[in-house]
């Protein structure tokens, strides 16, 4: 209640009445009252054995109130107003700050004990002990009751700290954290300043000055205040005028629109970001403007694999059976598998690239428009096409609206003047000294001061009827124009939203385009490495086939011996038999090897001995 009274004085009265009515002094008193009220709740909570955390928060709020009071005491203006007692009050408030901070940390330590956080318990009790020692230092010169309370608190906190430290050192061995690493205790404000109404007899009691002014004078003064009825009637006419002004703001009547900040930003940013309005697809990374490129190494890998497979089939046809060799090297199978994998990835990427192109084509026209001159953007926005008659109707309506606005401003000014005159007009002194029979005459004389203002008010009210009638007629003619302007407004907003949406999609499309370019660059690199592996594997496969062919030739049986020929025919026979043997061997060779010269044939064929040697 006391805090509420001080708050009322601070908020409703000038600070120049006396020194103790200054803003700083009243704020000091408010916080002192709230702090003591919070102290009462703290004591009640401790007596009721509330939870430790709740008691700690209530105590922390006491500290907050006293800290606010201490700031007010430290103000130079407050110090000069309070004089000598300022130091004593400041010392006492600081002592209470340390004391209740110690109480708050004592109960935080109790909560840590309940949660079995024994390291935290030690630091909270230690902090409470340190703050209590500071409070004891500041309590010198205080009454004995204060000293006794501090000694009792020291016994409690000291005992808690010693016990907690001993238990942690010998039993729990928990690390003791630093106090500033723990969560600070937030105050819980449970008190507030109660509002005070000085005119309520239930609060202030009977008026102690009631007998100074006769009741008749009060009644006459109240009767004189009936001039306020004019003000109330005056204010009641405003809604009638305002009801016709709904939807007739200058923004609703404008013919042309200017690009909004949301649209100006893309127009200014896109040219600086490297956007080229004339490009075929300016937002896409190079290489993504056409269909997704296939890695150039992939077809060459397929050709190598197909050529190796063809050579393998020819060898099988030559030998007439599947060769007993282990077949293709393992590297060729892996190369074929990876090649198929790369082709599948490329097929999926082609679909994604197509979708990206489709999304880009949706925004490309808008982006080109935004990347061009601002005048080009303004020309692309919808504008109304009004006839001269429509423009005349619109201008007439604007002129009447300006007149209405002028009338409203004049009325507000007259209303403010009337308020100020009523507030300053107090004839209570005259009523006290005037006979009751002369009251009517006094009223007539005093009300004459409002005659000039009354004339202005009546003129304003009369003008309102004429202006509202003209406004109603102009509004009827404006209906068709309003519909056309509303349609253009809707199209304009839709166009702006579409352009802004394209601008917002620009960065996302750029990012996806760059990701696509990086993907194809990476895929090309991997395909090139795979091509090199395919070459090595094909060379190894060809070497295996060559070795197999040599082994098969060695396994051919020697030619069957024949009867000896006469010596004269030996040379001719040798040549015939050599030709027969050569044709026999060549028949076993693949067709592409039969036409090779002897120096290019495999070693066993090139070094065959003459037929006579075989004999």
Tens of pLDDT, residues 462-486:
777 787 788 888 878 777 777 777 8
Per DSSP, the residues of 120-179 read HHHHHHHHHHHHHHHHHHHTTT--HHHHHHHHHHHHHHHHHHHHHHHHIIIII------G
Write down the pLDDT at residue 188: 93
Q: Sign of torsion, CA 320 321 322 324?
A: negative
Write down the pLDDT at residue 271: 53
**Max CA distance (Å), the chain:** 185
Write down the pLDDT at residue 606: 46
* SS percent in the chain: helix, strand, coil, step 5: 75, 0, 25
Averaged pLDDT for residues 58-84: 90
Q: How confident is the model at residue 240 (pLDDT cuts 50, 70, 90)?
A: low
In order of start, what are the domains of the chain with their CATH numbers?
1-181 (1.25.40.280)
The proportion of the chain whose per-residue pLDDT surpasses 70, expressed as a percent, equals: 72
CA dist 296 and 390 (Å) reads 67
Averaged pLDDT for residues 20-29: 88
Query: 227 or 278, which is more confident?
Result: 227
Residues with Cβ within 8 Å of 535's Cβ and at least 6 positions away in sequence, in order, are 304
Write down the pLDDT at residue 158: 94
Decide if pLDDT at 210 tops 60. yes
Write down the pLDDT at residue 541: 80
Q: How confident is the model at residue 203 (pLDDT cuts 50, 70, 90)?
A: confident
Averaged pLDDT for residues 25-42: 95
Most confident of 46-50, 278-282, 441-445, 549-553: 46-50
Write down the pLDDT at residue 94: 95
Q: How confident is the model at residue 43 (pLDDT cuts 50, 70, 90)?
A: very high
Write down the pLDDT at residue 214: 61
**Tokens 């809707």 belong to which residue?**
490
Decide if pLDDT at 103 tops 60. yes
Most confident of 558-562, 590-594, 595-599: 558-562
Decide if pLDDT at 58 tops 90. yes
Listed range (102-106, 169-173, 216-220) with the worst mean pLDDT: 216-220
Alpha carbon dihedral 531, 537, 540, 542, in 10-degree steps, equals -70
Q: How confident is the model at residue 546 (pLDDT cuts 50, 70, 90)?
A: confident
pTM above the 0.75 mark? no
Q: How confident is the model at residue 509 (pLDDT cuts 50, 70, 90)?
A: confident
Write down the pLDDT at residue 289: 43
Averaged pLDDT for residues 105-128: 93
Residue 566 DSSP SS3: coil
Write down the pLDDT at residue 329: 57
Averaged pLDDT for residues 139-160: 93
Average pLDDT of the residues of the chain: 76
Q: If 0-12 CB within 10 Å is exposed, 13-18 middle and 19+ buried, where does residue 423 land?
A: exposed
Write down the pLDDT at residue 589: 55
| 553 touches 602 (CB < 8 A) | yes
């Amino acid at each position: 209640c006391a805090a509420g009274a001080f708050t009322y004085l601070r908020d409703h009265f000038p600070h120049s009445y006396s020194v103790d009515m200054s803003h700083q002094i009243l704020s000091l008193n408010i916080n002192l009252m709230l702090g003591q009220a919070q102290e009462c709740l703290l004591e009640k909570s401790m007596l009721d054995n509330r939870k430790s955390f709740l008691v700690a928060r209530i105590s922390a709020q006491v500290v907050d109130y006293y800290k606010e009071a201490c700031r007010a005491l430290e103000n130079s203006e407050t110090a000069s107003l309070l004089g000598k007692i300022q130091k004593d009050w400041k010392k006492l408030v600081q002592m209470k700050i340390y004391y209740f901070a110690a109480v708050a940390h004592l109960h935080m330590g109790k909560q840590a004990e309940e949660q079995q956080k024994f390291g935290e318990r030690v630091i909270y009790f230690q902090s409470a002990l340190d703050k209590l020692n500071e409070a004891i230092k500041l309590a010198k010169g205080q009454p004995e009751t204060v000293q006794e309370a501090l000694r009792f608190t020291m016994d409690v906190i000291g005992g808690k700290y010693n016990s907690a430290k001993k238990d942690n050192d010998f039993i729990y061995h928990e690390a003791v954290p630093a106090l500033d690493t723990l969560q600070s205790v937030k105050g819980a404000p449970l008190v507030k300043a109660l509002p005070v109404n000085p005119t309520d007899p239930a609060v202030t009691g009977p008026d102690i000055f009631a007998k100074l002014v006769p009741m008749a004078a009060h009644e006459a003064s109240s009767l004189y205040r009936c001039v306020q009825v004019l003000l109330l009637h005056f204010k009641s006419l405003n809604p009638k005028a305002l009801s016709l002004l709904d939807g007739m703001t200058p923004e609703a009547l404008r013919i042309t629109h200017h690009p909004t900040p949301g649209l100006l930003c893309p127009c200014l940013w896109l040219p600086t970001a490297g956007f080229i309005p004339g490009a075929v697809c300016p937002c896409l990374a190079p290489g993504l403007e056409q269909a997704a490129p296939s890695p150039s190494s992939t077809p060459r890998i397929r050709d190598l694999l197909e050529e190796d497979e063809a050579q393998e089939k020819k060898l099988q046809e030559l030998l007439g059976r599947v060769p007993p060799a282990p077949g293709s090297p393992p590297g060729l199978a892996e190369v074929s598998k990876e090649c198929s994998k790369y082709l599948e990835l490329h097929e999926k990427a082609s679909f994604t690239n197509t979708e990206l192109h489709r999304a880009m084509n949706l925004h490309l026209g808008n982006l080109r428009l935004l990347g061009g001159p601002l005048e080009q953007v303004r020309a692309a926005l919808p504008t109304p096409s009004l006839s001269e008659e429509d423009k005349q109707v619109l201008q007439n309506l604007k002129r009447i609206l300006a007149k209405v606005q002028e009338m409203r401003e004049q009325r507000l000014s007259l209303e403010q003047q009337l308020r100020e005159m009523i507030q300053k007009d107090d004839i209570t002194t005259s009523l006290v000294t005037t006979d009751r029979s002369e009251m009517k005459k006094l009223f007539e004389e005093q009300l004459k001061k409002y005659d000039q203002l009354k004339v202005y008010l009546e003129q304003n009210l009369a003008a309102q009827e004429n202006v509202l009638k003209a406004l109603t007629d102009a509004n009827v003619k404006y209906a068709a124009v309003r519909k056309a302007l509303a349609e253009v407004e809707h199209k304009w907003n839709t166009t702006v939203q579409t352009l802004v949406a394209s601008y917002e999609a620009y960065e996302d499309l750029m990012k996806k385009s760059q990701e696509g370019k990086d993907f194809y660059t990476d895929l090309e690199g991997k395909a090139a490495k795979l091509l090199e592996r395919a070459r090595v594997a094909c060379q190894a496969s060809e070497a295996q086939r060559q070795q197999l062919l040599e082994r098969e030739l060695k396994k051919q049986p020697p030619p069957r011996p024949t009867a000896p020929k006469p010596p004269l025919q030996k040379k001719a026979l040798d040549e015939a038999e050599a030709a027969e043997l050569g044709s026999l061997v060549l028949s076993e060779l693949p067709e592409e090897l039969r036409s090779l010269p002897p120096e290019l044939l495999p070693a066993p064929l090139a070094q065959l001995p003459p037929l006579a040697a075989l004999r």
